[in-house]
Amino acid sequence: MLTDTAVRNAKPKAKAYKVSDSLGLYLLVNPKGSKLWRLKYRMNGVERKLAIGPYPQFTLSEARAARDAARRQVAHAIDPNYAKRQARIEASLRAENSFAKVAGELIEKRQTEGVSPRTLEKYQWVLKLFSAEFVRRPVAEISPAELLHELKHQERRGKFETAKRMRSFASRVFRYGAATARAERDPAQMLLGALIQPKVKHFAAITEPTEFGALLRAIEDYSGDPAVMHALKLTPHVFQRPGELRHMEWAEINFDKAVWTLPPAKMKMRQPHAVPLSRQALAILQTMQGLTGKGK
């Protein structure tokens, strides 16, 4: 039988040679100096060899443990080489079925279905909030406790709304994983009620003419970033959501017809939306065009 010292002192020769241990285990010493553990065994009367691994990554005791495990498989009519190959395939499939992989497929699917770019951006943003270790996990093996750990990390930072969004997005991913036969359940569903509910902040609309006048004067007095300044001045003339105004593009503006046409991709109902432009709105846009007219 081999000893640790004998394995360590085995020197390379002109040709590869074997140093036997016991029960079919041996060390193959190559001319270039590498040392590889191998196991000889018989299946159905045919001699076969199993590659266990290199030394010193596999010590003598670890190689013997691997030998004993392989011999137990042989005793149960399981070919160790076949079992090793299957384990490799399963590991590859596990990587293909990771949370990140399934989430990426879901986002691509939603993009193909015509979801707005803004929604896709939100999906990507939420996905990046999960830890690298978590997103590498197979969706079928993630437990409610694992997901809760990710969400509680946000709660400890006071990000209650963020934790809520992460749970909602994770639920979409798990449901898509189940629909594509890569998961059996939705752990996120089990966490309903487990998170701290964020307090909703309501901002009262300005309804008094004097207060509205004060707002307009404040906008006129703003002297910061030119894009922000023009956007603020344009807002009272178009009555669109801030996000829609922020994503306005020159290709959507028809100065001759005095209309701003939002394409279906930017609208929740996926229908084009025409916004009439007053002469004041056109004047603001024409001023802005001198700054960014050659860009998007």
State the chain's mean pLDDT as an integer: 90
Instruction: Give yes or no for a contact between 162 and 154, defined as CB atoms under 8 angstroms apart.
Output: yes
**Assigned fold of 4-87:** Double Stranded RNA Binding Domain (3.30.160)
User: For the chain, which residues make up each domain, given as ranges?
Assistant: 4-87, 99-191, 209-292
| Residue-level pLDDT at 95 | 67
| pLDDT band for position 109 (cuts 50, 70, 90) | very high
Is the pLDDT at 94 greater than 80, yes or no?
no
**For 156-177, what is each residue's pLDDT tens digit?**
999 999 999 999 999 999 999 9
Q: What is the per-residue pLDDT for 293? A: 74
* Span 251-294, pLDDT tens digits: 999 999 999 998 888 777 778 889 999 999 999 999 888 777 76
Q: What is the pLDDT of residue 118?
A: 80
- Interatomic CA distance for residues 253 and 251, integer angstroms: 6
Exposed (0-12), middle (13-18) or buried (19+): which is 135, by Cβ within 10 Å?
buried
User: What is the pLDDT averaged over residues 216-220?
Assistant: 88
Q: How far apart are alpha carbons 19 and 37 in whole angstroms?
A: 10
- Give every CB contact of residue 273 below 8 A, 6+ residues apart in sequence: 261, 262, 267
Q: What pLDDT is stored for residue 49 in this prediction? A: 94
| Residue among 98, 119, 101 nearest 110 (CA) | 119
Which residues make Cβ contacts (< 8 Å) with residue 19, sequence separation at least 6? Answer: 2, 6, 7, 10, 26, 27, 29
**What would you measure as the largest C-alpha separation in the chain, in angstroms?**
98
Percent share of the chain, pLDDT over 90? 64
Architecture in CATH for domain 99-191: Orthogonal Bundle (1.10)
Taking each helix axis from N to C end, the angle separating 279-292 and 226-238, rounded to the nearest 10 degrees, works out to 160
Question: CA-CA distance, 223 to 241, in Å (whole number)?
Answer: 22
**Residue 246 corresponds to which tokens in the numbers above?**
């922020």
CB 216 within 8 A of CB 236: yes
